[in-house]
């Protein structure tokens, strides 16, 4: 298997009510990524795109082909990946496999979403399509509700008084807002206090408005290449050194294991094993904080903290830039934003910059970071872990 | 291979307050809602079993937000219930003031009823859903 390098990247500002179409948002960041890679569109051999709800938000299916054509990648194989909020991560992982296997040398990976065009009611409906439509949606299942169920279960399982857990969850959101203020691509650039979190609108107990990420529009792209090709193009290679992907079924079928998500733990295990690393080796992590409790569950499932303790770790500052394991220094899904098809690619873009030491100017560089871990959760059952290295 | 219980058969039974599950002859565990195989061991040696519909609440959430077209159901309390036979299923909790729902609900014994979600333009028809109420002791 060949080594695979992340070359250049492109990233839009995540936002509400983008005036641009999905094709336009994605095309702009893709050209940025190709130029930063010192390549031209003619060098791109294949295009992988994460996109989830274009069919509903713009009446646009098959965005990948229109996008490839728009940027002048005429007639290349273009493939759309759909795994709810992990779609971009699927596109990335498959591109890695294609290059590692020797079939392609250069693949463009993009992700895009324009969810806010749907409005909150339709967006909530379409996002709920990533739960079980026949056995769980009829009960009023939504993703906020799923994480409300997991939050109460978490408090019960680990014997944490709900009021304490709520404070820990608030600490997650407060930290994310703080770093988003330093990230020019972030959707929400506004300081948030614990009191504001705890006084915000109750969405579904115990999840309040500021425990939840926003609906978002945005796009991100990166170019992957074989090590041999990359050597001629960059002197700052960032390698993908571990990948993991798993699936799981409807929430109730995961029963006794909850609030832990076994599929995440297995995906992370695959990635660590392939990279020859353990959680202790990770210097910086971007994980799937679609809800504050989701961040706590993710950090534990990735092995970064003991079960039942991640919330305290956030409160103690262990997840901060200068902490033991900096997490979501981009602002996370909570404040950077969560355009679902783009999220995994955005995480990869962020970690690539961390590992190249390019974020000092923004005041959010993790000094000396060598290994970065990304974690993405799609719906009730697509989990992706990818580890990046700068050596 | 055919399903032992199709969604349409599960749905029809639930509309009569009958909860259908699958008992695995290989590992003895019960699967509900139904799947093609045993959710524990992936075995296919399954027998249809009518479940008691009794169990205890393992988690809950009261939602003040719902999908397009379902706003009139709010607030709605969603529960995960561990059935006496072992599996967990999702449903609603009836006859409870959402403002009074708290952590004490976890562990409460409940029994099964149902209501029908009439469906929307994306749902390919209606679907019965479990609606639990406090079990008589």
User: Is A73 one of the catalytic residues?
Assistant: no
CA atoms within 13 A on the CB side of A168: 24
State whether B20 and B71 are in the same domain: no
Selecting among A15, A85, A285, A290, the annotated active-site residue is: A85
State whether B24 and B37 are in the same domain: yes
* Residue B13 touches partner A, C-beta closer than 8 Å: no
State whether B30 and B40 are in the same domain: yes
State whether B46 and B57 are in the same domain: no
State whether A301 and A234 are in the same domain: no
> pLDDT for A22-35, tens place per residue?
999 999 999 999 99
Question: What's the pLDDT score for residue A227?
Answer: 98
Q: Is the alpha carbon torsion for A364, A321, A167, A331 positive or negative?
A: positive
Of the three residues B51, B77, B92, the one that is the final residue of a domain is B51
Q: What residue numbers bound the domain in which A234 lies?
A: 4-119+215-238
Average pLDDT score over chain A: 98
Residue A282 maps to a domain: yes
> pLDDT for A170-208, tens place per residue?
999 999 999 999 999 999 999 999 999 999 999 999 999
Contacts of A195 (CB under 8 A, 6+ apart): none
pLDDT above 90 covers a percentage of chain A that reads: 100
Question: Can you tell me the mean pLDDT for A69-98?
Answer: 98
State whether B77 and B114 are in the same domain: yes
Q: Is the alpha carbon torsion for A357, A359, A361, A367 positive or negative?
A: negative
Question: What's the pLDDT score for residue A77?
Answer: 98
Question: What's the pLDDT score for residue B137?
Answer: 54
Contacts for A95-102: CB closer than 8 Å, 24+ residues apart:
A95/A46, A95/A48, A95/A224, A96/A4, A96/A224, A96/A240, A96/A243, A96/A386, A97/A243, A98/A46, A99/A2, A99/A4, A99/A224, A99/A225, A99/A226, A100/A1, A100/A2, A100/A3, A100/A4, A101/A1, A101/A2, A102/A2, A102/A226
- Return the residue in B75, B85, B90, B125 with the most chain A beta carbons within 10 A, the one to mutate for interface testing: B90
User: Which tokens belong to A292?
Assistant: 């504050």
Count how many domains chain A has.
2
Question: What's the pLDDT score for residue A18?
Answer: 98
For residue A260, what is the DSSP state? Answer: S
Residue A286 maps to a domain: yes
Strand B88-93 and strand B127-134: the pairing is parallel
Count how many domains chain B has.
2
pLDDT at residue A329 tops 80: yes
State whether A48 and A179 are in the same domain: no
Q: What residue numbers bound the domain in which B46 lies?
A: 1-51
Contact A138 B101 (CB under 8 A): no
State whether A82 and A153 are in the same domain: no
State whether B90 and B67 are in the same domain: yes
Cα A127 versus chain centre, distance: 16
Contact A204 B62 (CB under 8 A): yes
Contact A284, A356 (CB under 8 A): no
pLDDT at residue A6 tops 60: yes
Q: Which residue positions in chain B have pLDDT lower than 50?
A: none
Question: What's the pLDDT score for residue A341?
Answer: 98
Of the three residues B10, B36, B51, the one that is the final residue of a domain is B51
CA distance A5 to B23: 50
Of the three residues A238, A253, A288, the one that is the final residue of a domain is A238
Q: In a 10 Å sphere around its CB, with 0-12 CB exposed, 13-18 middle and 19+ buried, how is residue B44 labelled?
A: middle
CATH of the domain at A27: 3.40.47.10
Question: Can you tell me the mean pLDDT for A248-263?
Answer: 97
State whether B78 and B98 are in the same domain: yes
Question: Can you tell me the mean pLDDT for A322-344?
Answer: 98
Question: What's the pLDDT score for residue B35?
Answer: 98
State whether B91 and B39 are in the same domain: no
State whether A284 and A370 are in the same domain: yes
pLDDT at residue A72 tops 60: yes
Question: Can you tell me the mean pLDDT for A121-126?
Answer: 96
Question: What's the pLDDT score for residue B135?
Answer: 85
State whether A251 and A187 are in the same domain: yes
Minimum-distance CB partner of A253 among B39, B102, B127: B39
CA atoms within 13 A on the CB side of A47: 33
Residue A368 maps to a domain: yes
User: Is A338 one of the catalytic residues?
Assistant: yes
Q: Report ipTM (2 d.p.).
A: 0.98
State whether A267 and A379 are in the same domain: yes
Question: What's the pLDDT score for residue B97?
Answer: 86
CA distance A132 to A144: 14
Question: Can you tell me the mean pLDDT for A140-164?
Answer: 98
Work out the end-to-end distance of chain A between its first and last CA atoms, rounded to an integer number of angstroms: 17
C-alpha distances out from residue A181 to A176, A177, A318, B36, B95, Å: 9, 6, 19, 49, 45
C-alpha distances out from residue A361 to A29, A36, A182, A364, A365, Å: 21, 18, 9, 8, 8
Question: What's the pLDDT score for residue A230?
Answer: 98
State whether B65 and B33 are in the same domain: no
* Residue B6 touches partner A, C-beta closer than 8 Å: no
Question: Can you tell me the mean pLDDT for A217-242?
Answer: 98
pLDDT above 70 covers a percentage of chain A that reads: 100
Q: Which residues of A touch B15 (CB under 8 A)?
A: none
Contact A205 B61 (CB under 8 A): yes
Residue A266 maps to a domain: yes
State whether A254 and A336 are in the same domain: yes
Chain A residues touching chain B at CB-CB below 8 Å: 121-122, 124-125, 128-129, 133-142, 144-145, 148-153, 155-156, 162, 201-207, 249-253, 255, 258
Give phi and psi for A87, each to the nearest 5.
-60, -45
Question: What's the pLDDT score for residue B98?
Answer: 82
State whether B74 and B132 are in the same domain: yes
């Amino acid at each position: 298997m060949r080594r695979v390098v992340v070359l250049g990247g492109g990233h839009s500002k995540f936002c509400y009510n983008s005036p641009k179409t999905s094709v336009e948002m994605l095309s702009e960041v893709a050209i940025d990524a190709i130029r930063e890679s010192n390549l031209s569109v003619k060098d791109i051999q294949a295009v992988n795109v994460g996109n989830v709800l274009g069919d509903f938000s713009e009446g646009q299916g098959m965005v990948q082909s229109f996008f490839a054509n728009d940027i002048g990648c005429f007639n290349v194989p273009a493939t759309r990946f759909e795994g709810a909020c992990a779609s971009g991560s699927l596109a990335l992982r498959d591109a890695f496999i294609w290059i590692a296997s020797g079939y392609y040398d250069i693949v463009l990976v993009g992700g895009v979403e324009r969810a806010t065009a749907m409005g909150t009611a339709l967006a909530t409906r379409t996002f709920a399509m990533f739960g079980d439509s026949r056995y769980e949606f009829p009960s009023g299942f939504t993703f906020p509700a799923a994480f409300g169920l997991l939050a109460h279960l978490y408090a019960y399982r680990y014997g944490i008084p709900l009021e304490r857990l709520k404070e820990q969850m608030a600490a997650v959101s407060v930290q994310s807002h703080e770093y988003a203020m330093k990230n020019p691509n972030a959707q929400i650039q506004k300081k948030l206090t614990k009191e504001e979190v705890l006084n915000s609108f109750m969405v579904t107990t115990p999840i309040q408005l500021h425990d939840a990420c926003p609906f978002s529009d945005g796009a991100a792209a990166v170019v992957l290449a074989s090590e041999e090709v990359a050597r001629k193009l960059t002197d700052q290679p960032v390698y993908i050194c571990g990948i993991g992907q798993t699936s799981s079924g409807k929430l109730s079928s995961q029963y006794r294991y909850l609030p832990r998500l076994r599929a995440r733990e297995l995906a992370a295990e695959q990635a660590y094993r392939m990279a020859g690393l353990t959680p202790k080796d990770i210097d910086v992590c971007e994980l799937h904080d679609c809800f504050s409790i989701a961040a706590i569950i993710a950090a534990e499932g990735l092995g970064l903290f003991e079960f039942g303790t991640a919330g305290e770790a956030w409160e103690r500052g262990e997840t901060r830039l200068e902490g033991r394991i900096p997490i979501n220094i981009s602002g996370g899904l909570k404040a950077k934003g969560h355009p679902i098809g783009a999220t995994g690619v955005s995480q990869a873009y962020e970690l690539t910059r961390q590992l190249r030491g390019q974020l000092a100017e923004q005041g959010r560089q993790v000094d000396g970071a060598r290994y970065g871990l990304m974690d993405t959760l799609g719906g009730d059952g697509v989990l992706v872990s990818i580890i990046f290295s700068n050596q | 291979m055919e399903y032992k219980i199709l969604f349409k058969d599960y749905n029809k039974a639930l509309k009569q307050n009958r909860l259908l599950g699958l008992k695995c002859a290989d590992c003895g565990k019960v699967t509900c809602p139904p799947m093609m195989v045993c959710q524990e061991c992936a075995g296919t040696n399954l027998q249809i079993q009518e479940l008691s519909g009794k169990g205890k609440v393992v988690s809950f959430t009261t939602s003040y937000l719902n999908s397009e077209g379902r706003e009139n159901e709010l607030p709605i309390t969603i529960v995960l219930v561990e059935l006496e036979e072992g599996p967990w299923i999702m449903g609603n909790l009836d006859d409870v003031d959402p403002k009074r729902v708290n952590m004490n609900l976890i562990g409460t014994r409940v029994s099964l009823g149902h209501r029908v979600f009439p469906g929307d333009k994306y749902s390919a028809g209606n679907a019965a859903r479990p609606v639990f109420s406090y079990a008589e002791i």
